[in-house]
Amino acid sequence: MAEKKKGRLTKVLDYLKHDDPFSKGVAFCPGCGLELLLRFIPRVLGNDIVITGTPSCSAPVLLGQNNQSWHTLSYFGTLMTGAAANATGLVRYYRKAGIDNTVVCFNGDGTANDIGFGNLSGAAERNEPFIYICYDNEGYMNTGIQKSGTTPFGATTTTTPYGTVSRGKNLRRMNLGLKMAMNKIPYTATATLSDLDDLARKLLKAKEAKERGFCFLHVFAPCPTGWGADPADTIEICRQAVKTNYFPLWEAENGRIRMTKTVKKPKPVNTYTKLMKKFNHMTEADHVILQDDVDYEYCLLGGLSVLEAECQLPVSVKDQGETS
Amino acid sequence: MNTTTAPKRIKVITGNAAAAIAAKLARPDVVAAYPITPQTEVIEQISTFHASGEMDCELITVEGENSAMNAVMAASLAGGRVFTASSSWGLVFMYDAVLAVAGARAPVVMVNVNRETPGIIAVSSGQQDMISTRDAGWIFLIAEDCQEVLDLVLQAYRLAEDYDIQLPVMVHYDGFFLSYLSEGVDIPEQETVDRFLSVLKDQPKRTVLTPGRKLGVGSHGILGGYMELRHKHVTAMERSKAKFEEIDREFDGIFGRTYGGQVEEYRTDDADMVLVGSGSMCGTIKSVIDDQREKGVRIGLVKIRMYRPFPHQALVAALKGKKAIGVVDRSLAFGFDGGPIYTELKAFETRLDGAQLISFIDGIANTDITKTNVEKMIRMTGDLADGKDVPEVTWVSYPDANTKGEK
Amino acid sequence: MSSNRYFKHQGPWSDAADPLMCTDTGDWRTKRPVVDKEKCIFCGFCAIYCPIGVMVMQGDTHFEADLDFCKGCGICAKECPKGAIIMISEGEFVS
Ligand SMILES: Cc1ncc(C[n+]2csc(CCOP(=O)(O)OP(=O)(O)O)c2C)c(N)n1
Ligand code: SF4
Ligand code: SF4
Ligand code: SF4
């Protein structure tokens, strides 16, 4: 038999130091980005994290049924409205009782950017020592694909349908990651599933930084069912989101923004949008609007990272310290 | 209220201060709260205790009541003793979490300083906030005076954290009246309170959320599991009635004060007529009763101290065989003829051996339930006892409501 | 006291010390990933990108899907740098 050409095992595997605490058969749709992310987190951070979850696509798996569970993590199944406050209560008690902990407050964009934003903001202000992870599938998927604050311009959802007087969402998406970084919390980062080593590194960094306070990870996680995409394309969608600057990868320590991946020649946004049906109806003019938005946000991000470097960090923020 | 000659450290303080001091004496691990009139002083006091190092708790200055309840719920499920305080709109803004706390059987203790709910500018007294949340699955206790505010908060911890109960407890007291009223309160020594609460350490450990432990909370049940949890909840509520009486007796042994448990009976033994009331109005009612007794009127008071679970057995025992009963409500029940407590008591009318009931609405919108108002209620209840024609419902301070046709 | 038929605890606690719940997600599959061992360079991309994590290492030679749970999404095939995985309709395997 001919000698087989061997590559090197991807280094992402080195980050997966812990067991997958989830049952093998759980009811996420085929190709669901959320499933990949959810299994990935405890494999990197360890199985002794406490995870909180809210009504969303993640809930049927995170939360048990009667006495039974889908995974072996400690979890707190809670309300969309108060997720970050729940995590706050946990970490404050653990601190008082001297119990080591890594609390991961895991929520969809519906909770993080919309209905639960008030308490997310409060937790950031108080610099509560836990990791908030928002998986962004750009809508309320569990209730049947409705628009959220992170649904992009043009996208169709069941509440922003395409019709004679409407061409999908007629509003910009909000930049959740940037909103959080502006609070000067110890660690903010964006991540996605095509760049798993980047994601793993950011998770580990957050675990370290949460000793100094609040950490926020904004993870772009495609929903093939809701977006009208081929389940096989989930990773490719993430990749193109990065390559078009639609979802740039960056991190911010104490609010200081740094790109973790720079795209030399960004592709036009339609190389991304063509991968799914939710943008199908968009005209060239619509694409110009979306492209404009993407360019603006990216430009702003670059500008901020330069400005941040020029500005002297206030002592109050410096006192938070930095990750080694 | 019976008192013995235990050493006293009387201080003149408000009901809000009494609540804050009680919270401090209970040594909670986590306190989270948000200001609202007339509760604000409670969290200001706690913040002061915290700032001076007198109170060793994690104090979470949340950005809204919803977060206050969510934070203490989680801290409680993780194993902590917790405290929060709110009122009216604040209670309503945390309502989803109030329900979740009950469903999770988290032994949260809070005070709610009663205030009306509709009317943002009409910052005024009334128990509508309590009524609007009555079936959230919490134990509801109601205090009559500042001393009882303090005592009930301490008793609330014994009840909430009792292994056989494991239910959240809300202590209600009238905003504007008790919240800001200063009166002499006997403030117990820390050691005495520690002794009273120490029993909680000697019971089996409740299930708590601990990192690394393969246990999760909050999904609630489905189908049979859901019904099992609800039924467990109902039975724990029912158990809390006797437990509360037991705690009250033990409290008497340690602090030298007893209130009689679920209901307090005042001069009811030989009474033909009884008023049923709750909260701060009871002080006024008692003093009017004393006056009327001098004149030979056989009137007594049954004060509701535990409102949820509804203490119907204790109420029936106290009211059975009386001729006429006037129920005073500080809130409304829409679609019913009469106030909410009146309506609930009506359900047990057939067990009262012929006693007749009428409803009084008073004390909402900051109206004072004055002595004159109470005298009027007693007169009308007397008329009912004498077989005269008396309207079923009377808005004591708002005569316009009592004209024919409008009712 | 009420029964403990569904719950061991007073409140809504689920216990992962008990066997985990599990759905036969393999039944959902309409296409099956089939790995060409010869083409496989043992890079592991299929394994890290499989949302369920069911691309299992076979010794140190290649990866193979656990068909009890593979949902047939096709990500592994799409992400394999060597085109070593092809998705074949389940119908083909019905004998
Ligand atoms: C207070 C409240 N309002 C509405 C709902 C109904 N609901 C359940 S899941 C959901 C959408 C969640 O969206 P997101 O957080 O983005 O998660 P996803 O479903 O996309 O995973 C909504 C609105 C709810 N559970 N609670
Ligand atoms: S609807 Fe979308 S987010 Fe929800 S499980 Fe399916 S693919 Fe995942
Ligand atoms: S991705 Fe392809 S080449 Fe790499 S291990 Fe999997 S099957 Fe083999
Ligand atoms: S088809 Fe999808 S679920 Fe099956 S092994 Fe490949 S990536 Fe995993």
Name which residue sits closest to atom 6 of ligand 3, judged by CA. C46
Q: Measuring CA to CA, which residue among B115, B137, B95 is closest to residue B280?
A: B115
A192 located within any domain:
yes
More confident residue, A185 or B403: A185
> Which of B104, B216, B228 faces C6 most closely, judged by CB atoms?
B228
CA B329 from chain centre, in angstroms, equals 14
Residue C72 CA: nearest ligand 4 atom is 1
Summarised one tens digit per residue, pLDDT across range A241-271 is 999 999 999 999 999 999 999 999 999 999 9
User: Which residue blocks in chain A are alpha helix, DSSP H?
Assistant: 12-15, 33-45, 59-62, 83-97, 109, 117-125, 176-181, 196-209, 224-227, 234-243, 270-273, 284-310, 315-318
> Is B79 in CB contact (< 8 Å) with chain C?
no
**C44 in contact with ligand 3, CB cutoff 6 A:** yes
> Is C16 in CB contact (< 8 Å) with chain B?
yes
Residue-level pLDDT at B402? 82
Contact C14 A66 (CB under 8 A): yes
Ligand found nearest the CA of A228: 2
A5 located within any domain:
no
One-letter amino acid at B57 equals C
| C67: chain A residues, CB-CB within 8 Å | none
Please state, as a whole number, how many other Cβ atoms lie within 10 Å of the Cβ of residue A117. 16
Residue-level pLDDT at A316? 84
**pTM to 2 decimals?**
0.96
For residue C74, the CA-to-ligand 4 centroid distance in Å is 6
- Please check the confidence at residue B406 and state whether its pLDDT lies above 50: no
A4 located within any domain:
no
Q: Domain containing C72: what range?
A: 25-93
Q: Domain containing A19: what range?
A: 10-318
Question: Which tokens sit at C28?
Answer: 């959902």
For residue A56, the CA-to-ligand 1 centroid distance in Å is 5
The pLDDT of C32-58, averaged and rounded, is 97
Name which residue sits closest to atom 2 of ligand 4, judged by CA. C73
**ipTM summary value:** 0.95
A2 located within any domain:
no
Quick check: do B10-255 and B263-402 share a fold? yes
Name which residue sits closest to atom 2 of ligand 1, judged by CA. A80
C5 located within any domain:
no
Summarised one tens digit per residue, pLDDT across range B194-222 is 999 999 999 999 999 999 999 999 877 88
CATH number at residue C81: 3.30.70.20
Residue-level pLDDT at A208? 97
Determine the CATH number of domain B10-255: 3.40.50.970
A197 located within any domain:
yes
CATH C-level class of B263-402: alpha beta
Q: How many domains does chain C have?
A: 1
C39 located within any domain:
yes
Average pLDDT, chain B: 95
Residue-level pLDDT at A2? 46
Summarised one tens digit per residue, pLDDT across range B166-175 is 999 999 999 9
The helix/strand/coil state of A30 is coil
Name which residue sits closest to atom 1 of ligand 4, judged by CA. C72
For residue C44, the CA-to-ligand 4 centroid distance in Å is 13
Contact C12 B224 (CB under 8 A): no
Ligand found nearest the CA of A135: 1
- Please check the confidence at residue B9 and state whether its pLDDT lies above 60: yes
List per-residue pLDDT tens for chain A, 324 residues long. 445 556 689 999 999 999 999 999 999 999 999 999 999 999 999 999 999 999 999 999 999 889 999 999 999 999 999 999 999 999 999 999 999 999 999 999 999 999 999 999 999 999 999 999 999 999 999 999 999 999 999 999 999 999 999 889 999 999 999 999 999 999 999 999 999 999 999 999 999 999 999 999 999 999 999 999 999 999 999 999 999 999 999 999 999 999 999 999 999 999 999 999 999 999 999 999 999 999 999 999 999 999 988 888 888 887 777 765
Contact C28 A65 (CB under 8 A): no
Summarised one tens digit per residue, pLDDT across range B227-236 is 999 999 999 9
Domains of chain B, by residue range, sit at: 10-255, 263-402
The answer, yes or no, to whether the previous bond of A152 is cis (omega within 30 of 0) is no
C1 located within any domain:
no
The helix/strand/coil state of B340 is helix
List ligand 1's pocket residues with C-beta within 6 A: A 55-58, 80-81, 107-111, 115, 137, 139-143, 148
Chains that touch C (3 or more CB pairs under 8 A): A, B
CATH number at residue A214: 3.40.50.970
Question: Which tokens sit at A26?
Answer: 């759980």
C20 located within any domain:
no
**C57 in contact with ligand 3, CB cutoff 6 A:** no
Q: How many domains does chain A have?
A: 1
